[in-house]
Chain A
Amino acid sequence: MERKRCKEVVGMALEEKIIEEIIQKAPYVEGNVRRAKRIDLKVPADRIKEFLELIKKEGFNMLIQISIVDWIKEKEFEAIYQMWSVDKKVHAFVRTRIPRDDAKLPSMRDIFPVAETYEREAHEFFGIIFEGNPRLGPFILEPREYEKHPFRKDFNMLGYVKAVYGEDFDRYDENKTNYVI
């Protein structure tokens, strides 16, 4: 027990040191420590690309995931880039907010080549255009669903399902198939 608490206290010092170094180099950032090994950084939308280049030099050289949150009441998308530093063993979550209509972000493909797949998925499901990514297009879903952007919160899921698959999907017909339990 004591050893774990000691480690948490010491661990927090490492994360706070990292945040201080980053804020010195990029004063437009706000950061806080969520818990051991997790730090949160908020960045305005127009400086996201230079910030990611900066953070790559700081030691966070692995991009794990790009995920999008749809804040429909505030009419914004929030893009979260999850970074991992292999030497220091700390996750960093980099967040930006972009307006919901006509959403655009620069593509991170030249810094992190793996971002191409995540940006294709985010484009297909949410409708965000990533400038500089040449492979945006139908990816996981069928071409019929391509401009519908299903993960947005104002997508009428039940209406779409009824239109494509028929009206009677919540009733089963016992004459049609033979059951075995």
Chain B
Amino acid sequence: MMNMIIQAVLILIYATFMGFIFMGIERKTMARIQRRIGPPLYQPLLDTLKLLGKRESITHGFIYDFGPIFALGASILALMFLPLTQNFQLFSSSGDLIVVAYLLEVPMLGIMLGAMSSGNPYSGVGVQRGLLTMVAMQLPYGLALIALVEHYGTFSLQEIVKAQQIAGWSILVPALLLAMIVFDIVFQALLGLEPFDITTAPAEISMGPMVEYGGKQAALLFTQHAVQLFAETAFFVILFLGGANNLLELLIKQIAVLFIAIFIASIYPRFTIDQAAKFLWKWPTIMGIIAALLAVL
């Protein structure tokens, strides 16, 4: 029991730190693509420390404070269910694919809860758009996961990793290659990057749901974003790129996934919300259906 608590705390510290470094890599890469020198890699840590050091504190009630805590809790719990290396998984059950896939969606609901109780109309618009993005994204997301489950025949993440160690990475199978492309498109929406950036559209609706958050609650939101980034890239690596034998290999694969996401994000402008919904229900859905049918056959 004591062992488990120490391991959980160590994973959490490692994931938060690496999540901040990933956010720093994102800003630095975007700056280098635009031919500038960006901020140093540890910049999001300084941002969070500065936000924690604000002297004044504004609150709009209990739900406003509770929203970021709810979101952070869901991200941490999703992290605990992932098999980070081949033999190591903190909590495990036989259906943990579904548990992790849907625990990675809950933080958005938590932020929406907090943002709606602040009374700012920009938050309201941002929340509407965020919920519609979530609804639009579920269909291709579910189809990609169905293709994966049909191929491996199990819902347990540990067995998926073991099967990939024997038979090679998932993407060598054609059905799962299509599923990976669909999942990569949905991945941009999960991370909040362009072209599905419409929830937090800076300079259009002033940061969307986060417009009334300042100081210590904003520091909590940043930490939640860091943990979520780590958990989502690790999820992608586990499902499609074969898991990892040790933490270094996991890190290299995560950074590769992150670079693909950043390169797509730096070229494309933003979809509006109706264009995003129409796009996500047309081509990714068709490719997902083909992938699921191919996996069954």
A and B touching (Cβ–Cβ under 8 A):
no
Chain B residues close to A by CB (< 8 Å): none
Q: Which residues of A are at the interface with B, using a C-beta cutoff of 8 A?
A: none
